[in-house]
Amino acid sequence: MHMRDLWALAALAAAACGGVIGCGGCSSPHGTPIAPPSGDGGSGPDDGGPPPPPPTDGGPPPSDAGPVSGTLRVDPVNPRYFTAGSGAVYLTGSHTWGNFKDRAAVDPPPAFDYKVFLDFLVAHRHNFFRLWTWEQPHSADNVLLYFAPWPWPRSGTAMASDGKPQFDLDQFDQAYFDRMRARVIAARDRGIYVSVMLFDGWDLRNSYNDAGGFPMASGNNINGVATTADEFLSLSNLSITARQEAYVRKVIDTVNDLDNVLYEIANETGGSPAEVAWQYHMVDFVHTAESTRPKKHPVGMTSTYPGTDADLYNKNNHAEWISPSSQLAPGDGRKVVLNDTDHSYGWNPLQAAGALGQRQWAWQTFCLGAQPVFMDPYLETWAGRNSPRGSTLDAQWNTIRDALGYTALYASKLDLERAVPSASLCSTGYCLAEPGHQYLVYQPASGGFQLTVTAGSYHAEWFNPATGQKTDAGTMTLAAGQRSFTPPGSFTADAVLLLLAP
């Protein structure tokens, strides 16, 4: 049964107590389906229809949260997260390749429906995405895709390698930056944070097309600039670095006054010392460029390919956030960790993990103090990977989309500044806790588990990640020490337990 079907039932039969300690034989804990964050076909946000109805559990509805207010900075109380000045901000969401530059196997690529994409994010309770960029008008990525628009006008009389006029790198095309600003503002007004990607190392490193029109390659501009992928992703040519910095400064001028901005230096450069040093330099450059402007935004360094996560944690990396390659990278407070499947969980193994494995990854990441992010193929057809039907998403990825939204729902029920990863307190190894005040335990398998608690009274709530069903287990009084908990009998796989002191 799909989660949307659960909602349509309006009310479920009374759920069994399931042997919860302190339940006292409660007679009617109703299993309440939380409104599904996604559509499973038919009318819904996935195909342009209305969003699902709001939940009845008091959690945030799958609708606009209102404009983002307050610039993010590392939370001084719990540096695993950002704050906008009042409590920790939990970031999670889906992102897709064409959400800024249009991309397709035809030229020109058709326009990406950005409003529908934002509707999709909101309907899933997602509040974060990466705003993608690409380096070549005609990239070899995914069988020669075309991309548009570009930061510089194509005003030359001679032709670039892609058969179109050369770029003028001494000028910026304002329409490009107007689009960037408009998209960040539209996301802001829907309560969504945007990581503005500045460069794309993958496109140059793994998808270079000699006939792709790379703006800074020999013959592709009227300015006599002639660089290679190696040189572009390094500090070896100061004139190239200066042009990169001018572009970054223009991006900062475009979005600096907006609160919902983060920056990402580059998507998956190589891991050579030269490329890592270039990223460190660009991190510092963004910080310096913003130092004289009204707002200072977090800067991120994401996984190199191939490379080592040690580069991300290195003391010379002054980025506030990172996306490692480790599948279950913990949030240990050294950096804010946005664990992105784009780097840490390739689509083949993620697909092979199935629904349970996808839920496990999202909830385990959450309980480790990191924040899960999904590289979503969205509406792109990709043999073996994604098979949307027109404007209807491929349902095989609904599980992870929904799981991210449900972690956001439960993050909102916690005081994340004080609920920290506490693996030693629970037998499952996945627990966020502030002893005596709040505990969230994830059980990745079926069956009971143990949790060490501080004596006191707690309100207990079970959540079934597989169905979206919540079961209120009432208030229980617990003695100090290790207590045993068993999910309700209707739970056949993983489970979440939330204990909150009154």
State pLDDT tens for residues 58-117. Answer: 333 454 567 998 999 999 999 999 999 999 999 999 999 999 999 999 999 999 999 999
Judge whether residue 398 has pLDDT over 80: yes
Give pLDDT, residue 309: 97
Average pLDDT over residues 209-233: 98
**For 7-16, 296-305, 341-350, which range has the lowest pLDDT when averaged over its residues?**
7-16
Asked whether the CA dihedral 173, 179, 182, 185 is positive or negative, the reply is negative
Residue 203: per-residue pLDDT? 97
Q: What is the mean pLDDT of residues 459-478?
A: 96
Residue 51, pLDDT score: 35
CB neighbour class for 65 (10 Å; exposed up to 12, middle 13-18, buried from 19): middle
User: Please, are residues 232 and 241 in contact by the beta-carbon 8 Å criterion?
Assistant: no
Please say if the pLDDT value at position 265 is more than 90: yes
Checking if the pLDDT of 368 tops 60, the result is yes
pLDDT digits (tens, 9 = 90+) for 310-330: 999 999 999 999 999 999 999
Nearest Cα to Cα of residue 298 among 1, 89, 20, 17 = 89
Q: What is this structure's pTM?
A: 0.89
The residues, any chain, with a CB within 8 Å of residue 54's CB and separated by 6 or more, are 35, 61, 62, 63
Give residue-wise pLDDT tens across range 415-458. Answer: 999 999 999 999 999 999 999 999 999 999 999 999 999 999 99
Instruction: Kindly give, in sequence order, each residue whose CB lies less than 8 Å from that of residue 425, ignoring residues fewer than 6 positions away.
Output: 431, 433, 435, 439, 451, 452, 453
Closest CA to 116 of 379, 316, 396: 379
What per-residue confidence (pLDDT) applies to 24?
Answer: 28
What are the residue boundaries of the structural domains of the chain, listed by start? 3-36+422-500, 60-412
Report the topology of domain 60-412: TIM Barrel (3.20.20)
